[in-house]
Amino acid sequence: MKKKRSRITRRSEQIEKFLQQIYNLLAPQICYCCLDRMPLTELLKTGDLKKDKLWEISRYLCPACIENLVILKDDICPKCGSPLRTTGCPHCTQTSFKFIAARSVFLFDERTRPLIHGLKYHQFLKIAPVLAAYAALYLENHWRWQKPDIIIPVPLHRVKLRERDFNQSAIIGRWLAQLTHIDYREDIIIRNRYTRTQTALDRKQRHQNVSGAFTLRDAEYLKDKCILILDDVFTTGSTCNAMAHLLRDNQITQVFVLTIARPS
Ligand SMILES: [Zn+2]
Ligand SMILES: [Zn+2]
């Protein structure tokens, strides 16, 4: 019986592989960045979830594009994590950040943009655990502070949530919590105003747009905890800073920010 079942399993695996090959011929996998054709790599199942999810990047980017992913670990502003220029940090000279430090895993460039925008605007949900695995690796290797106690994603207003169906930062945040065994709460800071999309606003308008946009529901719970605010992209930092400001106003001072990417 055992022998029979294993033969059936083997057979079904062969069929699955065969169908996959046909599928590859008909619809080859394309690199999300350079659009090169690439073979579909098989999923890795080592039992180490983070390792398996890191491996999955090879299903979306070709080897050359993976090689050129820029991890923002060196030559960055110690405060906000912006890639450093000879003229200093343009963000920190213009904004007084209320978090202790912000870091981003990747440079937001032609390699990471299609992945992050894919998740945000085109329901590319499979990329969320992959990005979270990179964030987990970043915390492991390049985080200079204590391990955060709790991850809080930048919330979406409920109207926007209804429009988009999901909050991309929350999805990445949940995966990151699972991979790092850090607590996760998305109900503790809520967005109480429907803020305009930030894309078309300048720095000053962005800050005005988000100030007072959040409400802290349970300050007592966060007391003495080290908070990690999580977002997909750090642009001017105004959204994360508004949340950090609110926490500081409630005597919660151990506040850090981690985003998946940021432009130079
Ligand atoms: Zn490529
Ligand atoms: Zn800075």
CA–centroid distance, 117 to ligand 1, in Å, is: 16
DSSP 24: H
d(CA 9, CA 17): 12
pLDDT in tens, 205-218: 666 666 678 999 99
Assign 5 a pLDDT band (cuts: 50, 70, 90): low
Task: Note the pLDDT tens digit of each residue in 252-261.
Answer: 999 999 999 9
Ligand of minimum distance to the alpha carbon of 88: 2
End-to-end CA gap in the chain: 61
CA of 56 to the centre of ligand 1 (A): 14
**CA 151 – CA 256 distance, rounded (Å):** 10
Residues 138/71, Cβ–Cβ less than 8 Å = yes
Map 135-153 to HEC letters.
HHHHHHHHCCCCCCCEEEE
3-class DSSP state of 23:
helix
Q: Tens digit of pLDDT for each residue in 169-208?
A: 999 999 999 999 999 999 999 998 766 666 666 766 666 6
What residue ranges do the domains of the chain occupy?
2-46, 64-262
| pTM: predicted TM-score of the whole model, two decimal places | 0.86
Separation of 184 CA from ligand 2 center, angstroms?
27
**pLDDT score of 4 more than 70:** no
Q: Look at residue 96 and tell me whether its pLDDT is greater than 70.
A: yes
Decide if 53 contacts 130 (C-beta within 8 A): yes
Tell me the average pLDDT across 42-53. 92
* CA 224 – ligand 2 centroid, Å: 25
Q: Give CATH for domain 64-262.
A: 3.40.50.2020
